Copies of this chain bind each other. A is one copy, B any other.
Amino acid sequence: MGINVTNKEAERILIVGGGFGGVSAAKELKDLPVEVGVIDRRNYHLFQPLLYQVATAALNPSDIASPIRRIFRHQKNVGVFLGEVDQVDLSGQCIRIDGESVPFDYLVLAAGATHSYFGNDQWAKYAPGLKTIDDATEIRRRFLLAFEAAEVETDPEARSACLTFIVVGAGPTGCELAGAMAEIAHNIIPADFRHIDTTTARVILIEGGPRVLGAMSEKCSKAAHEQLESLGVEIMLNTSVTEIQEDGVRCGETFVAAQNVLWAAGVKASPLGESLGVELDRSGRVIVNPDLSIPEHPNVFVIGDQAAAKCAKTGKPIPGVAQGAMQGGAFVGKIIRKEFEAKQRSESSPKRNAFTYFDKGNLATIGRNKAVADAFGVKLKGLPAWIIWAAVHILFLVNFRSKVAVAISWCWTYLFSDRGARLITGKSKIAIKRPPKFE
């Protein structure tokens, strides 16, 4: 089927990671007589920015995830492989996948990042992070089970612990999670319960820095802060978490009892970067050249969350967001295409440009009609920002079907203040100790 990707003559470009960066890099290579291999641990490309909506039962996993194979169905020079890349062997110019080595002519590392507990990995089991579909359904499970547990809980203190939700980290994900959870507890499900008043549920957002959405403008931070509080979210700024236990969170002197803690604080780059033997930054990201290649290996690129790159124009670091990864992937793809075409015309390789990042602006949504936008110096909040946010996100969803599904889900949620995906799946064992409370 398609071109013979096993043709030994063909130049081989390996792309590790089927996220925003990897997919845009591969798309740039369309129609070239090369062999492109996209390798990912998962079979789907995930629209990360909406993952929190799966965690909060607004969207279905498949609304924001699309099989990588499907994306490249018609790009016949791409082969998609489900597998785990253990290491990169630069001297041997090959990567090791599940123990087997596969040589490359070009390598693009776009393996992304995972959440970091800043050396407190034991917190992970009490405070899950949000990076994969499975993370999202697990968070959804815990969130929904908390209300079920409270409904049958007889001890008032234990019940309020069931109904206390702590989100650590007030970046976009943290704010979006906290806002959605407060909205659900206070506006969406109260009528569904008989023994508890879900409007008494507490959602606490803990942030180490001086303001929420620290990466956005002061003005947007302020607006988001107000919007979160209007939804009943309690915000603790300049507060660092010192300990997370099964029964709550300790911040220095103060201890907050909570059955449900979510981690949206730190990320660290994929450990794959370590095997390159080049310089990494504090969060494990590979420090790359202006052209996104690594020192001494012009045929090896690192993009997206895995790279510590700077914009050649502004000198500012590239933020770890979708547009950064997409632009990096496209940039690298173009370099590889140009050099390949030059080789075919047996010309010398064209000089490479330095990567410049075009910031399309920042958006975050807090809830129904509640959002903030920073774009081209314009700062919006409330409904206008919310509409832009919704439009942009639908625009960027990978396949048309998802756009339709998401648009419908959002209209539904918007019109009827309901959430469609309130399912507790996984772990057939139920986490609830106590019997139904009849008297």
Q: Which residues of A contact B (CB under 8 A)?
A: 1-2, 5-6, 8, 12, 35, 37, 39, 41-44, 60-63, 65, 67, 69-70, 73-74, 76, 79-84, 97-100, 102, 132-134, 137, 144-145, 148, 151-152, 189-195, 197, 401-402, 404-405, 408, 412, 418, 420-426, 428, 430, 432-439
Give the complex CA separation of A420 and B402 in angstroms.
8
The chain B residue with its CB closest to the CB of A152 is B81
Q: Which residues of B contact A434 (CB under 8 A)?
A: 98, 100
Do A100 and B435 touch across chains, with their CB atoms under 8 A apart? yes
Q: Which residues of B contact A1 (CB under 8 A)?
A: 190-191, 193-194, 197
Q: Which residues of B contact A39 (CB under 8 A)?
A: 436
Do A102 and B148 touch across chains, with their CB atoms under 8 A apart? no
Q: Which residues of B contact A82 (CB under 8 A)?
A: 145, 148, 151-152, 424, 430, 432
Contact among B6, B63, B99, B402 for A439, CB-based, below 8 A:
B6
Contacts A69-B192, A102-B438, A435-B97 given: A84-B430 contact, CB under 8 Å?
Answer: yes
Do B405 and A43 touch across chains, with their CB atoms under 8 A apart? no
Contacts A192-B70, A194-B79, A425-B133 given: A401-B430 contact, CB under 8 Å?
Answer: no
**Closest CB pairs A-B (n = 5):** A100-B435, A81-B436, A69-B192, A62-B421, A60-B60
Contact among B195, B420, B428 for A79, CB-based, below 8 A:
B195
Do A438 and B12 touch across chains, with their CB atoms under 8 A apart? yes
Do B401 and A436 touch across chains, with their CB atoms under 8 A apart? no
Give the complex CA separation of A426 and B63 in angstroms.
17
Do A6 and B426 touch across chains, with their CB atoms under 8 A apart? no
Q: Which residues of B contact A423 (CB under 8 A)?
A: 43-44, 61-62, 65, 67, 133
27 A-B pairs whose Cβ atoms sit less than 8 Å apart in the complex: A1-B193, A2-B194, A5-B194, A5-B438, A6-B438, A8-B439, A12-B438, A37-B438, A43-B144, A43-B148, A43-B423, A70-B192, A70-B418, A73-B192, A79-B194, A79-B438, A82-B148, A83-B430, A99-B435, A100-B434, A133-B425, A137-B425, A401-B412, A401-B418, A405-B408, A405-B420, A426-B426
Give the complex CA separation of A192 and B134 in angstroms.
24
Q: Which residues of B contact A433 (CB under 8 A)?
A: 98
Q: Which residues of B contact A428 (CB under 8 A)?
A: 41, 132, 134
Output the least CB separation between A273 and chain B (Å): 20
Output the least CB separation between A428 and chain B (Å): 7
Output the least CB separation between A126 and chain B (Å): 19
Give the complex CA separation of A227 and B197 in angstroms.
53
Q: Which residues of B contact A81 (CB under 8 A)?
A: 151-152, 436
Q: Which residues of B contact A426 (CB under 8 A)?
A: 134, 426
Q: Which residues of B contact A43 (CB under 8 A)?
A: 144, 148, 422-424
Output the least CB separation between A194 and chain B (Å): 5
The chain B residue with its CB closest to the CB of A404 is B408
Q: Which residues of B contact A69 (CB under 8 A)?
A: 189, 192-193
Do A73 and B425 touch across chains, with their CB atoms under 8 A apart? no
Q: Which residues of B contact A420 (CB under 8 A)?
A: 62, 401-402, 405
Output the least CB separation between A45 and chain B (Å): 11
Do B67 and A435 touch across chains, with their CB atoms under 8 A apart? no
Output the least CB separation between A416 and chain B (Å): 8
Q: Which residues of B contact A97 (CB under 8 A)?
A: 435-436
Give the complex CA separation of A98 and B253 in angstroms.
38
Output the least CB separation between A244 and chain B (Å): 22
The chain B residue with its CB closest to the CB of A61 is B423
Do A430 and B73 touch across chains, with their CB atoms under 8 A apart? no
Q: Which residues of B contact A132 (CB under 8 A)?
A: 428
Give the complex CA separation of A264 and B420 in angstroms.
29
Output the least CB separation between A398 and chain B (Å): 12
